[in-house]
Structure 1
Amino acid sequence: MPSERPSNEDVIPGNLIGEDGGPAHLALSPEFFWNSGQKLKVPFLNGSPKLQATVRAYAQEWERHANIDFVFVNDGDAEIRVAFNWKNRDPINWSHVGTGANKFVIDKNQPTMNLGSLDDYTREDELCRVILHEFGHALGCVHEHQSPAANFQWDEPVVIADAQKRYGWDEATTRAQILKKKINATAHTNFDPNSIMCYIIPPEWTKDKKGVNMNLALSETDISFIRKMYPFRTRNAGRLSVDPDIRLWYPTIALNSKIIVFDPPYPLPPRIVLGLTLLDEARTTNIRVRLHTPPASERDNKSFTLNMDSWAETDMYNAAATWLEFVQSEVEFEVGEFNTNDDRSWDKLPPVTDDNFRRDVHRFDFPRGKYTEPPGVVVWLNALDMSKDANWRIRAVARNVSAAGFDLAIESWADTVVYSASAAWVAYPRNHPGVLSGKVSSSDYRNWFPPQASNGARLKFDTPFDRPDPKVFIALSELDMDCSRNLPVSWHGDTWADSILYEVGADWVAFG
């Protein structure tokens, strides 16, 4: 095959798929897919800085839709190794498929992917197509035109003769690359002619003259498929509000619920952590809200019911929640919840301390040996029951964090009356790759007085993520509002209408 880039009229060669592993073995079973969330180290074995930067940019398009992270490194042991026309002897574009890169390439100085036709002068559309295609193979995707669902009426003699003329392929190679259907593939979708994993098929190659044009972007099917193969931590948006997802803000209804579908389903019901992100209630009644979902023992692996309720005479115009889903195998994450009613009845308030606080404190101990150093702990408020007759002041915070455990404190101050409150928490190793967390409060950048309706600040990660769009989950952990007005507040730190907001805080966690 010539080393120059083929013209638009040419059939673009993809990577060769060998029957026994090289240079790109078909992903015949799920074991050829990497673990969801895995960080794949990717060094370049040659190539100009400009070309390397282009590969990084296009490869990361897959990361927007798959819970996988290409970490581009300079050297060292790596899962994917990229070369450009390796040793000036390989002008073909190819890649090993998925974990076959580790299985079939033992020499760590050899590429697992070769972008042989690319150089600094390659057109942008060709760069985009080739890089997306080959990194699709690196993630475990195979040729779409060889899918069990494809139904081409091949004119085999024409295909074989044309492939030999264009690329120097013998009949066996052409059959392996184009004509043979991979009927034993276990993970596939309906045939998608728009897939980035599909070759250009000239109309003259088929008896019915139906071909496939050049594809330059991930198709909807590509995105759906890769999302199922590498699902994100939270399968859905991880956000729900009463208005407009369940009902309009008025008239108020106390009990509000919606079924959240896991797409794709989990092997087992996941652990779920809920946090309050918005609350809008009338000042004329006590502030009452509770986020809850049935325990894992009462859920299935396909969905869960999220409830956002108030009770008694409370008028709840709106509420919103975020949540995290953790599979049972993610043992590095500990999760839990503390409701003050677990330790006291609603009418027995904790004593006032010398610093004029009331504190409900519950100790959580981690399993022995779980952490070797103090972990990161994220705390989210998810239930409130507070008197309407005093300002609404409350915060939930992790104190005395050590490798052995921590104290979860739910605090109020001054004359605030908290009949009950609940907070959920997540603990994780601080050195866990791809996870960062923190706290943000309006007190970080302004005094509590005078009150301010709009509060916001841009957060900068201490350690930048390699992937372009880390997933951030944030919920309320602190609140200080005047009871003389309605209580509308969101995790953005904003209030509206005539409400008076002295201080607001939130905990966040990011995965990338």
Structure 2
Amino acid sequence: MPIERDRLLRLLANVWVNGTELHYFLIDGAEPQRKAVRDAFAEWKALPLGLNFTETTTRAASEVRISFDAADGSWSYVGRDVLGIPTTEATMNFGWDLTDDYGHTTALHEIGHTLGLPHEHQNPFSGIVWDVEKVYAYFTGSPNFWTRAQTESNVLQKFSTTEVDGSAWDPDSVMEYWFPAGLILEPAQYSSGLMPAGGLSAPDREWAKKFYPGSTPGPEVLVPFVSRPLSLGPGAQADFVLEPEASRQYTIATFGASDVVLVLFEDDGGTLRYLGGDDDSGTGLNARLRVRLLAGRRYVVRLRLYWAGGSGDTSVMYW
């Protein structure tokens, strides 16, 4: 498993803007396995979430590509990281049967990663104290055969409180691993093993809906050359509609010192097609897109504040 694939917390830099439509492509797999993936997407959506999941039969139109390679384990890239993966490659894999309860939880878990959720045991608020050498011995052995670096990345590493936003540790989270006896020293109650209940826990449901609220106010119209001031809280979002009167190159940018991601979509008959995005990645340099827009078309711009320690005072304009 490649290092850094897996990170109910939310990694601030990897969260989608609310209202995004994710297109997933099933590369192969028997029909019962494919149906299990569809059912898991539907369960996340039904919370409800402010994300849409649409299966596509065209690999090039997909942001999420799912394979069923039994020799490659189960894994997923995290959140918006999938946008950097070539369309020739999978962004998620399932390495075992998904038709039983454990398989269903696996499908929910890996889709959770695609939503931007990291492993729950890496929660900086968990208070887990590991028997580190036993953890290395367990995960470098069968059936995982991870390297020590992979074990560090997927299990032992705790995220900084500035990287994540979410609940106190939830040992029953769908994003939590199962751990055998002897790996956890503290809390003492888990020294005999940690066995999550399976499926989405109540905190999973609560926090996922907070991250991606199912209903949000409609977007406002953004007029060329008119700056729109914004004051956003951590994780908060603002949506705008652009309806250019001339076909030409435009610049869309934020001003100030807030850590935001800016994403542009074209409204294609009610379906929002991703055109591009920019993330200042905590540099305070603002987000900026240079793109050709066509007269008579409708576009949607979405901005989301990430870093909880950053200022939410900013403005957006296009010209």
What is the TM-score of this pair, normalised by structure 2? 0.64
- The one-letter code matched in structure 2 to 1:68 is L
Matches within 5 A, 1:287-298: none
- Residue deviations 1:453-485, cap 9 Å, x none? xxxxxxxxxxxxxxxxxxxxxxxxxxxxxxxxx
Matches within 5 A, 1:246-265: none
Distance 1:176 1:124, change over 3 A: same
The alpha-carbon deviation at position 229 of structure 1 amounts to 1.4
| Count, aligned residues | 229
The separation in 1 between residues aligned to 2:172 and 2:126, in whole angstroms, is 12
Q: What are the superposed Cα offsets for residues 369-391 of structure 1, whole Å, 9 maximum, x if unpaired?
A: 59xxxxxxxxxxxxxxxxxxxxx
Q: Which structure is higher in helix share?
A: 2
Matched, 1:205 2:183: yes
| Residue equivalent to 2:112 | 136
- Partners of 1:210 and 1:218 in 2: CA distance: 23
Residue 66 of structure 2, aligned match among 75, 82, 90: 82
Q: CA deviation at 1:117?
A: 2.1
2:74 equivalent to 1:93? yes
| Alignment correspondent of 2:96 | 117
CA distance in 1, matches of 2:244, 2:82: 38
1:169 aligned to 2:79?
no
Aligned mate of 2:55, from 52, 68, 72:
72
Q: Which amino acid aligns with 2:80?
A: T
Secondary structure of the residue aligned to 1:91 is coil
Name the aligned partner's letter for residue 64 of structure 2. I
Q: 1:127 to 1:368 in 2, by over 3 A?
A: closer
Q: Residue in 2 aligned with 1:32?
A: 14
Structure 2 residue ranges without an equivalent (≥5) = 220-230, 247-266, 273-319
Correspondence 1:215 to 2:53: no
Native 8 Å contact 2:178 2:194 kept in 1: yes
Q: How does 1:489-500 map to 2 (within 5 A)?
A: none
Deviations 1:37-56 (A, max 9, x none): 11111011111222111210
Match of 1:62 in 2: 44
Does structure 1 retain, via aligned residues, the 8 Å contact 2:10–2:116?
no
Conservation of the 8 A alpha-carbon contact between 1:33 and 1:139: yes
Relative distance call for 1:368 and 1:46 in structure 2 (3 A) is: closer
Cα RMSD (Å) of the superposition?
3.0
Q: Give the corresponding residue for 2:239.
A: 329
Residue equivalent to 2:122: 146
- Tell me, yes or no, if the aligned pair for 1:81 and 1:110 is still in contact at 8 Å: yes
* 3-state SS of paired residue (2:24): strand
SS in 1 for 2:204: helix
Q: Which has the larger radius of gyration?
A: 1
Amino acid in structure 1 at the alignment position of 2:101: D
Conserved? CA contact 1:129–1:215, under 8 Å: no
Post-superposition, which runs of at least 4 consecutive aligned residues in structure 1 deviate over 6 A?
Answer: none
- What TM-score do you get using the length of structure 1 for normalisation? 0.41
Higher RCO (CA < 8 A, seq sep 6+): 2
CA distance change for structure 1 residues 149 and 78 in 2, over 3 Å: closer, same or farther?
same
CA distance in 2, matches of 1:368, 1:228: 33
Alpha-carbon distance in structure 2 between the residues aligned to 1:84 and 1:70: 19
Distance of 1:181 and 1:110 partners within structure 2: 28
The whole-number CA distance in structure 2 between the counterparts of 1:63 and 1:218 is 12
Q: Secondary structure at the match of 2:239?
A: coil
CA 1:108–1:32: 2 relative to 1, 3 Å: same
Distance 2:53 2:244 in 1: 34
Residues 189-209 of structure 1 show CA distances to partners (whole Å, capped at 9, x for unaligned) of 210001000001223112231
Measure, in 2, the Cα distance between the counterparts of 1:49 and 1:31.
34
Distance 1:48 1:123, change over 3 A: closer
Report the equivalent of 2:222. Answer: none
- Find 1:194's aligned residue among 160, 165, 172: 172
Cα distance between partner residues in 2 of 1:271 and 1:95 = 32
- Mapped to 1, the partners of 2:268 and 2:133 lie a distance apart of 61
Distance (Å, rounded) in 2 between the aligned partners of 1:196 and 1:28: 13
Per-residue deviation, 1:433: 2.7
Structure 1: gaps spanning 5 or more residues: 1-14, 235-269, 273-299, 303-326, 333-366, 371-428, 435-512
